[in-house]
Amino acid sequence: MRIVAGSRKGHRIDAPKGVVTRPTSDRAREAVFAILGSVEGARVLDLFAGSGAMGLEALSRGAASCLFVERDRRACRVIEENLARLRFETGAVRCAPVERALRDEAARGRRYDLLLVDAPYEDWGVLEERLGAALSGVLDECAMVVVETAATVEPTLPLALVTTRRYGSARITVLSR
């Protein structure tokens, strides 16, 4: 996998070994950022970060910062290694369950301009309602949310739909506050 565009275009990104993560394809990442437009100066929250590909792409394209939230310790180490290798000093990794991290970020009054959500496909049905309630505590007033699900699933979070598109076995849905 490689960074698609920005200051680190073409740089390699590692992904955790095994089937714990399912990195977003280069094609889907490129499409997401074409839909979003400029992310220059954005505060990004990458939930269920896996390899961190989406957040790393945002940093390469000029995002001010990115907090990567991932529960799997091996994946957290890989994200930290990717951040170090790419020399992204404004990226941080939180190795914790997403719901706890959202609660903590909201309690600290931290708000984000862009949320990237790539939950395990098989867990989306269980997580959708809880995430919908928790996301509002960390969204800035003009925030955008990008959700990746299985192609057959259409997320229904309590946000305005911008667009939804299929890319192979994945669906990318972009929502706004």
Per residue of the chain (177 residues), what is the pLDDT tens digit? 888 898 898 899 888 876 555 667 778 888 899 999 999 999 999 999 998 999 999 999 999 999 999 999 999 999 999 999 999 999 999 999 999 999 999 999 999 999 999 998 889 988 998 898 899 899 999 999 999 999 999 998 999 999 999 988 889 999 998
Torsion angle, alpha carbons of 164, 100, 132, 66, to 10:
-40
- Helix then strand then coil, % of the chain, to nearest 5: 35, 30, 40
Superfamily of domain 26-176: Vaccinia Virus protein VP39 (3.40.50.150)
